[in-house]
């Protein structure tokens, strides 16, 4: 069995943020910002503030997950992946929790700056999003222990961030960024599902009732495949059957081969070690598809065609 790597020095702090998941924080900011080009100018100061805040919140959420998984006895020296920094890297649980709250505090300050330059509603929505990030694994009834983890992850890390990002640039809301949030929300939710597929046996033993545990791995993989196919069909529909369409919105279809590879890896893998490549591929798919959508939106915004 492949053993998880032990990290020391600065790297153990870096790995605590779970870098491979941070794509779920910056892709929505990119998509939301690129959507602005059809309606106005980008406020670059707001872009960088939003980007930093979302990365901090995602990193802190990962640390909360690290802390509470340790407290509930879910992590061990045999755990695979980059989780388990407390049990493997010898980090203090209190320190992990402290760093997470410091990240939240910095994100809150950034949120106040953004609010002063946009609307007080941003502060309210941001506070709700941060609460969801904590309650995902913290509190007496963690969201991650329910069948709704993927939905919350996709909605708040995908759609909500994209809509907030669009608003702080334009001062308005529009259906276009909402529609553009659908593919990123799906891939972010499925990044969560890939993790749950990998950990399904351990999660079941701990008492979790995730979607994967309730329906089983084969049906969960079928769900992932169906949602990914839908995301491509959705972009095709927007392109050809709505007044907001552009051929540039078809650029994300270039990620279809990677999507097929990801589903194949999810279907083929069984043990946690065997499913690590599937989870890595899903993270890559979220990044590649999101960047391709961003490029398409930029070209659409610049050319107007």
Kindly write down the DSSP assignment for every residue of 86-121, as one continuous string. Answer: HHHH---HHHHHHHHHHHHHHHHHHHHHHHHTS-HH
For residues 157 and 26, the answer to whether their CB atoms sit within 8 Å is: no
Q: Give the model's pLDDT for residue 14.
A: 79
Among candidate residues 192, 185, 271, 270, the one with its CA nearest the CA of residue 228:
185
For residues 167 and 161, the answer to whether their CB atoms sit within 8 Å is: no
Give the residue ranges of the chain where pLDDT is below 70.
Answer: 1-10, 73-90
Q: How far is CA 114 from the centre of its chain?
A: 21
Count CB atoms within 10 A of the CB of residue 226: 10
For residues 212 and 279, the answer to whether their CB atoms sit within 8 Å is: no
Q: What domains can be seen in the chain, in order of their start residue?
A: 9-303 (1.10.600)
Q: Give the model's pLDDT for residue 277.
A: 93
Please name the helix (run of DSSP H) or strand (run of DSSP E) that holds residue 164, with its range, or none.
helix 161-170
What phi and psi values does residue 43 have, to the nearest 5 degrees?
-95, 100
The distance between the two most distant Cα atoms of the chain, rounded to a whole number of Å, is 56
Among candidate residues 52, 30, 176, 193, the one with its CA nearest the CA of residue 114:
52
DSSP 210: -
Residue 305 CA to residue 303 CA, distance in Å, equals 5
Residue 153 CA to residue 162 CA, distance in Å, equals 13
Please name the helix (run of DSSP H) or strand (run of DSSP E) that holds residue 276, with its range, or none.
helix 272-303
271: alpha, beta or left, given left = phi > 0 and alpha = psi -120 to 50? beta
Among candidate residues 213, 202, 206, 198, the one with its CA nearest the CA of residue 72:
206
For residues 65 and 137, the answer to whether their CB atoms sit within 8 Å is: yes
> Could you tell me which residues come within 8 angstroms of residue 150 by beta carbon, excluding any fewer than 6 positions away?
189, 190, 192, 193, 196, 211
Q: How far is CA 153 from the centre of its chain?
A: 6
Burial profile 59-77: b = 16 or more Cβ within 10 angstroms, e = fewer: bbbbbbbbbbbbeeebbee
């Amino acid at each position: 069995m492949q053993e998880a790597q032990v990290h020391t020095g600065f790297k153990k702090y870096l790995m605590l943020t779970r870098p491979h998941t941070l794509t779920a924080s910056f892709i929505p900011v990119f998509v939301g910002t690129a959507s602005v080009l059809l309606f106005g100018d980008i406020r670059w100061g707001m872009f960088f503030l939003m980007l930093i805040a979302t990365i901090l919140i995602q990193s802190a959420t990962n640390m909360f997950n690290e802390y509470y998984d340790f407290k509930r006895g879910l992590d061990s020296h045999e755990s695979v992946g980059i989780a388990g920094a407390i049990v493997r890297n010898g980090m203090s649980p209190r320190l992990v929790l402290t760093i997470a709250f410091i990240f939240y505090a910095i994100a809150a300050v950034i949120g106040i700056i953004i609010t002063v330059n946009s609307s007080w509603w941003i502060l309210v929505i941001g506070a709700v999003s941060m609460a969801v990030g904590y309650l995902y694994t913290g509190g007496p009834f963690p969201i991650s222990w329910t069948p709704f983890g993927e939905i919350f992850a996709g909605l708040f890390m995908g759609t909500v961030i994209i809509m907030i990002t669009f608003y702080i640039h334009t001062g308005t809301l529009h259906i276009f960024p909402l529609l553009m949030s659908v593919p990123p929300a799906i891939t972010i939710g499925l990044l969560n599902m890939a993790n749950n597929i990998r950990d399904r046996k351990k999660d079941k033993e701990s008492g979790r009732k995730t979607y994967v545990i309730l329906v089983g791995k084969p049906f969960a993989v079928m769900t992932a495949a169906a949602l990914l196919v839908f995301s491509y069909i959705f972009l095709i529909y927007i392109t050809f059957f709505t007044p907001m369409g552009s051929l540039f919105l078809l650029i994300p279809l270039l990620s279809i081969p990677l999507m097929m590879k990801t589903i194949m890896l999810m279907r083929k893998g069984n043990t946690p070690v065997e499913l690590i490549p599937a989870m890595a591929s899903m993270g890559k798919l979220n990044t590649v598809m999101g960047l391709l959508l961003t490029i398409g939106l930029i070209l659409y915004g610049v050319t107007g065609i």
